[in-house]
Amino acid sequence: MIVSRARGRVRIRWLTWVLLLVGAAFVALGIYYLITPAHSLPSFLPGHQIGVDRRHTKHGLAAITLGIVSWIGAWFTTKP
């Protein structure tokens, strides 16, 4: 798929779209970790603990960082 711009053409590959979606999923997961107490997390997520009211800040920041790294990777996969 080719998207045209004023200065030229930019190629957007399928890998770019995948990295954009993965990055959005990681950022959403990171925000979920930051706002949800540990006892309310689904059992399939790391950090689920019954009876614990604290939030997993490190997990949230790590997920947001992975999302940003995925977006940077998507940026590097585009080429003029």
Categorize the per-residue pLDDT at 31 as very low, low, confident or very high, splitting at 50, 70 and 90: very high
pLDDT of amino acid 59? 92
| Dihedral Cα 32, 37, 39, 40, nearest 10 deg | -40
Mean pLDDT, the chain, rounded, equals 87
Q: What global pTM score does this model have?
A: 0.80
- Whether the predicted pLDDT of 58 surpasses 80: yes
pLDDT of amino acid 78? 87
Categorize the per-residue pLDDT at 46 as very low, low, confident or very high, splitting at 50, 70 and 90: confident
Contact present, 19 and 73 (Cβ < 8 Å): yes
